[in-house]
Chains A and B, each alone.
Chain A
Amino acid sequence: MIKLRRKAAPNFGRRKLGAALGAAVAAGGFLAACGSSSASSTSGSTTTSKPIVIGISLPLSGDFSADGLAFKQGYEIWADYVNSHGGLLGRQVQLKIISDNSDPAQAQTDYQQLITVDHADLVFGPFSTLLTIPAAKVANRYGYAMIEGAGGGPSAFALGLNNLFDVSAPVANALVPAAKWLASLPVGQRPKTAAYPTSNDPFTEPQVLIAKKIMEAAGIKTVYFNVFGSEVTDFTPIASAVAASNADVVILGSVDVPTVSAFIQDFAQQHYNPKALVATGGPDQGSQFIAAVGAANANGVMVPNTWYPGASAPGSNAMVSTYIKKFGGTVSNVSADVAEAYSVGQVAAQAVTHVGSLNQKAIIQYLHSGVTLTSVQGPVKFDNLGENTAAAIYGFQWVNGTFKQVLPLSDPNSSGLLYPKPNWGA
């Protein structure tokens, strides 16, 4: 029998622990820096003139990686389209895309590098309000216009930067169509109670608070309201508490697919079937959402947005076709992120073409001039804060495997709304 007594030799003391953790941090920093330095580009250059370099930082890894990839695809098909139609100002467009690992500090560093080291002619926005805020600050410091498609949280505009332009609809009002519809239902159908679990993200919380206010004004009692941190990975206790509240409807402040998927799974396990589930983000991710929750569980789930693959805005169908040609898949693979990124390119191109140069000051002035521009998401007109006042927000719903526009009911393109939502798995 071997005597099992530990000797001091390979002892793992506190000093070693400190050194080890220090090494881990150093390694993380070094490898993150290596990761962020990898770049991809799209050129397709056919002219001899110097290409226009567009600098972009995107979350190609980390929490927003799925959205980051969709944004990258949107930017790339826009660049391909422009280059195949003579480029911008007669020059080809070249994208310089680097990854920020979903980290605001890295996004800040990336834009600093893109502007001061890579001397980008234009910069396009990253994904999410969280990453747009530091990015816009850097761009503002150097006088660059920051045109973006997914940074429309109120906290971004609260900065008061005159270089920030969000081509998508203002985030804060995204849930208004759904909230107004629920509030306007006949008394017999109107929900009596509602639950509002939301992430503390600048994208989600403002939307949920406005929806809550509208619904409470209509007499819909709040039986659950809680904010959870973005670092939460286990949603079971939160979802179970919502299920225990037995609210008639759930307004979920989510930024991604895993969050919505976790709530739906727990609701199904708890046999809790709300009449409506409206999530701020996640269900708009097309086939990714279906792959995570299953088509049967997706049935009836709603999400606000400005675009969907069947949208009628000029250029939308062509963009979808180009996407499928370049990346494969089907229409359902094209997420709203692609359209948001594509719209950024469209708006920037119109501004540059009108100004006739890459002069940032002139571009910013033009975008603030009140002119109405076009995009695959619909018209774009900026107010003095850079919010798109011309954008319309719609409510979408998964109906028997199809992502359909269902709100507002008065819109001719809205139809077939499922209410109450079918039971999970039905």
Chain B
Amino acid sequence: MSNFLRAVIDGVLTGSVYALMAAGLTLIFGVMEVINIAQGILVVLGAYLSYVLSVHLGIDLFAGLIITIPVMFVLGVGIQWGLMRRLGEREKVSMSILVTYAVAIILEGVLDLIFGPGYLQLTAWYVNQSIHVFGFYLPYIYVFGFILAVGLLGSLYFILYRTEFGRSLRASQQNKTAARLIGIDVNRVAAITFGIGVAVTAAGGMVFGATTAFNSNSSADLISRLLTIVILGGMGSIGGAMGASVLMLVIEAIVSTYWSPTWATLVFYMVLVLVLVVRPAGLFGQKAVRAQ
């Protein structure tokens, strides 16, 4: 029983980290129908930014988010304004994959040039420490990451579905012409949305960098998992990203504990297939999301 609980706790805590990394991806797709293949390298970029602030300026990892989140926001706005805005509506989805893939390759090359291929890991007092609760050691970094994920994703949800900006944002997506007719600056909304999506990734990158040794090539393994989470959760659903991340990591942890780590990934993908057969739009598909 304790092994089962430990696996569930591991899954929930690590799942929240993946939710932080996947939230930007699902937000950008859900609102703009842009598949951001660069999400993995943006996570890694977030980790590098936190590293620079931590090592060279002595700024705490969480405090550093006050700087890295705005920086990533500006980067996101720049990508949208400079590249994505120019894509035609007809082939927007397929072309967005190509453009963001190019962004990923460029960012990876730049990071490799600046930092080299050596592995780094973020350090702070809470990275290797844990708190003892009911017989379980809960790592501080995951507990803090979980709180950060709930806070940030909750804020995102609030912005999207409970504010005037969120309504403008979704209206722009539903019908750009109509949105323009009622005075919404569609290009501005798109740029801000992309910026928010990339900004959230700064937080995911920081926790990723504190829990995993990384280099500029670490995004390769990440992007497939993040896409899987977003598809399972329902592309565009913030809550779905959280739910799918936790579900995925809990399944993997339980299978890994009771069966074998070799089968953990396979079982997860089997669950993914089953869910998509029953609910092709994912656990919280677009229809459900946009009806909120």
Instruction: Choose among B2, B249, B265 the residue with the greatest number of A CB atoms under 10 Å from its CB.
Output: B265
Distance in angstroms from B173 CB to nearest chain A CB is 7
A426 at the interface (CB under 8 A from B): no
Given contacts A2-B171, A227-B262, contact A66 B257 (CB under 8 A): no
CB–CB A258/B119 < 8 A: yes
CB–CB A241/B93 < 8 A: no
Given contacts A27-B101, A237-B257, A292-B121, contact A65 B10 (CB under 8 A): no
Interface residue ranges of B25-82 to A (CB < 8 Å):
33, 35, 37
Interface residue ranges of A381-406 to B (CB < 8 Å):
none
Q: Is the interface of A mostly helix, strand, loop or mixed?
A: helix
Residue of A nearest to B123 (CB): A294
1/0 per residue, CB under 8 A from A, across B248-266: the answer is: 0100110011001110110
CB–CB B118/A23 < 8 A: no
CB–CB A241/B222 < 8 A: no
A257 at the interface (CB under 8 A from B): yes
CB–CB B128/A232 < 8 A: no
Interface residue ranges of A336-372 to B (CB < 8 Å):
none
B148 at the interface (CB under 8 A from A): no
CB–CB B119/A69 < 8 A: no
Query: Which residues on B sit within 8 Å (CB–CB) of A218?
Result: none
CB–CB B213/A6 < 8 A: no
Alpha-carbon separation in the docked complex, A241 to B286 (Å): 37
Number of interface residues, chain A, beta carbon within 8 A: 66
1/0 per residue, CB under 8 A from A, across B14-34: the answer is: 100000000000000000010
CB–CB B217/A61 < 8 A: yes
Interface residue ranges of B213-237 to A (CB < 8 Å):
213-218, 220-222, 225, 235
CB–CB A229/B10 < 8 A: no
CB–CB B128/A269 < 8 A: yes
Alpha-carbon separation in the docked complex, A265 to B95 (Å): 40
Interface residue ranges of A261-311 to B (CB < 8 Å):
261-262, 265-266, 268-271, 285, 287-288, 291-294, 297
A228 at the interface (CB under 8 A from B): yes
A240 at the interface (CB under 8 A from B): yes
CB–CB B119/A10 < 8 A: no
Alpha-carbon separation in the docked complex, A226 to B217 (Å): 27
CB–CB B128/A265 < 8 A: yes
Which residue from B120, B182, B220, B264 sits with its C-beta under 8 Å from A63?
Answer: B220
Alpha-carbon separation in the docked complex, A268 to B211 (Å): 12
A9 at the interface (CB under 8 A from B): yes
Query: Which residues on B sit within 8 Å (CB–CB) of A6?
Result: 174, 286-287, 290
Which residue from B121, B220, B262 sits with its C-beta under 8 Å from A261?
Answer: B121
CB–CB B262/A2 < 8 A: no
Which residue from A7, A261, A269 sits with its C-beta under 8 Å from B130?
Answer: A269
Residue of B nearest to A225 (CB): B260
Which residue from B167, B212, B256 sits with its C-beta under 8 Å from A258?
Answer: B212
CB–CB A2/B252 < 8 A: no
Which residue from B14, B119, B211 sits with its C-beta under 8 Å from A288?
Answer: B119
Determine, out of A12-20, A135-143, A148-156, A181-189, the stretch whose residues face the partner at the interface.
A12-20
Distance in angstroms from B45 CB to nearest chain A CB is 16
Enumerate the 7 nearest inter-chain pairs by beta-carbon distance, A residue then B residue, closest first. A228-B261, A237-B253, A292-B213, A269-B139, A258-B213, A261-B213, A23-B94
Further pairs besides A4-B171, A269-B128: 9, Cβ < 8 Å: A4-B290, A5-B290, A24-B37, A24-B97, A233-B225, A238-B256, A241-B3, A258-B218, A291-B121
A–B Cβ pairs within 8 angstroms, 13 of them: A2-B168, A5-B174, A10-B33, A16-B94, A19-B94, A31-B101, A61-B112, A63-B221, A68-B117, A231-B265, A257-B119, A268-B129, A269-B139
